[in-house]
């Protein structure tokens, strides 16, 4: 079976609000396997939201582990992310997982990868997946030139631009705000 291709997930911090969104397309090879996958999950009683790109089963495993880390560290997102990244890099089973996560709280955005990275973007924009550079470029331009838009509106517009360009990204968006 072919690997499921990535997606586009984008998070923006703007004017004291956080928004994260993702498209709904899952592909296998050059075929759309599903058009309405929900790649955004609310965690910690809605205080944290996570989005994933990559293999769906792998991402669900990582989100479950992240939830466990959140519980173990009293909801401290950064500490939970660091602990997940350490496990992900060193654990024999987890190190084979092919996915990435973006997590947001009201205070911060983090990108978590299997190489041990926990990155907090300097510019309040984070993106992962096959359409990530299109979405990130659009989001940075929107933050600079369309600051009257809300974080949610910026995420929607930037994802729309990515979906217009990236064949692995569709227009079925799920967007959550904090």
Return the active site residues. Answer: 7
Six-digit token pair at 18? 């956080």
Measured CA to CA in angstroms, residue 30 lies from 33, 55, 92, 128, 169 at distances of: 9, 15, 31, 20, 12
Q: How many other C-beta atoms can be found within 10 angstroms of the C-beta atom of residue 77?
A: 26
Q: Are 77 and 37 in contact (CB under 8 A)?
A: no
């Amino acid at each position: 079976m072919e690997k499921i291709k990535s997606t586009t997930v984008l998070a923006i911090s703007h004017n004291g609000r956080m928004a994260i969104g993702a498209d709904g397309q899952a592909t296998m090879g050059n075929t759309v396997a599903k058009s309405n996958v929900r790649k955004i999950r609310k965690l910690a009683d809605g205080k944290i939201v996570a989005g994933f790109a990559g293999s769906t089963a792998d991402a669900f495993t990582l989100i479950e582990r992240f939830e466990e880390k959140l519980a173990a560290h009293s909801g401290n997102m950064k500490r939970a992310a660091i602990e997940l990244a350490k496990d992900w890099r060193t654990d024999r089973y987890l190190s084979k997982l092919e996915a990435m996560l973006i997590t947001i709280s009201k205070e911060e955005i983090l990108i978590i990868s299997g190489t041990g990275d926990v990155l907090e973007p300097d510019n309040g924009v984070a993106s992962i997946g096959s359409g990530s550079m299109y979405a990130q470029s659009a989001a940075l331009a929107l933050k600079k030139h369309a600051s009257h838009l809300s974080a949610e509106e910026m995420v929607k517009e930037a994802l729309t631009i990515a979906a217009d360009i990236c064949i692995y990204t569709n227009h079925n968006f799920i967007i959550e705000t904090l």
